[in-house]
Amino acid sequence: MTAALALRAEWTKFTTLRSQWVTPLLAVLLTAGVTAAVQAAYGDVDASLYEDPGVGIYYGLLFGQTAVVCTGVLLIGQEFASGTIRASLAAVPRRGRLYGAKLLLGTGVGLAVGLLSVGGAHAATAATVGLDLSEPGAARSIAAGVLYHPLLLVICLGAATMLRNLTAAMGLLTPTVFLGTTVLGGVPGAREVARFLPDRAGLYATTYHADPDVPYGHWTGLLIMAAWAAAAAYGGLRSIRRHDA
């Protein structure tokens, strides 16, 4: 089984399992839809949404990212849950090749979701409260918003591979990303640590203006998230090579 055939097999799984292609579509709809609703209702009156345009534009991402988490988990967690991981390993005995194909597919899906979500969020903002892409930080915010999705997906794919359990991965990652790090950000003492968690650092990269309370720059925030993604991908590789299916 060559790397190209392994990737083709993963693409076939992705396109034929409804849960796997519906979930990233839901991420796009949630991100763009929630942003449109919030901007239409509060975009002109809530200062937190327009003082830093990135906050309003990516408001829907706070909800859409939950579906991105589920996408990353399902790419391999579904196989652990059903036992089909054994058939996958029988077809692709080189475990690194199988895992690499999943990572490559996940990165591609994440980029597609990022492009559609960011495009939808910006279109929703432009249609409701208006949008000025000439503002300083706009181009960087767009790039960070697109890259946020594949990085988060890879983190969740790697974590699901290490946990080797669909229920555990969903139960741990979904509430942590959706609510856990936000709660930690409001707890004195834990706030400083929470800023270095991947989703907090990545979301900071999407804002236009610098926050004096954050001890790093916007691009550094994206690099922090990328470091988490690299660590998760490596951890997943070590796990799939060392443990029986």
pLDDT band at 91 (very low <50, low <70, confident <90, very high): very high
Q: pLDDT at position 102, please?
A: 97
Please write the tens of the pLDDT for every residue from 17-68: 888 999 999 999 999 999 999 999 998 888 888 899 999 999 999 999 999 9
Asked which of 19-33, 38-52, 172-186, 210-224 is least confident by mean pLDDT, the reply is 172-186
Q: By percentage, how much of the chain surpasses pLDDT 70?
A: 99
- CA-based radius of gyration for the chain: 18
pLDDT band at 125 (very low <50, low <70, confident <90, very high): very high
Say yes or no to pLDDT of 168 above 80: yes
Contacts 24+ apart (CB under 8 A), 226-232: 226/151, 228/151, 228/155, 228/197, 228/198, 228/201, 229/151, 229/152, 229/154, 229/155, 229/158, 229/198, 231/158, 232/154, 232/155, 232/156, 232/157, 232/158, 232/159, 232/162
**Of 184 and 28, which is predicted with more confidence?**
28
Mean pLDDT of the 56-82 span:
94
pTM: 0.94
Q: Residue 110 is inside which H or E element, if any?
A: helix 95-128
| Mean pLDDT taken over the chain | 92
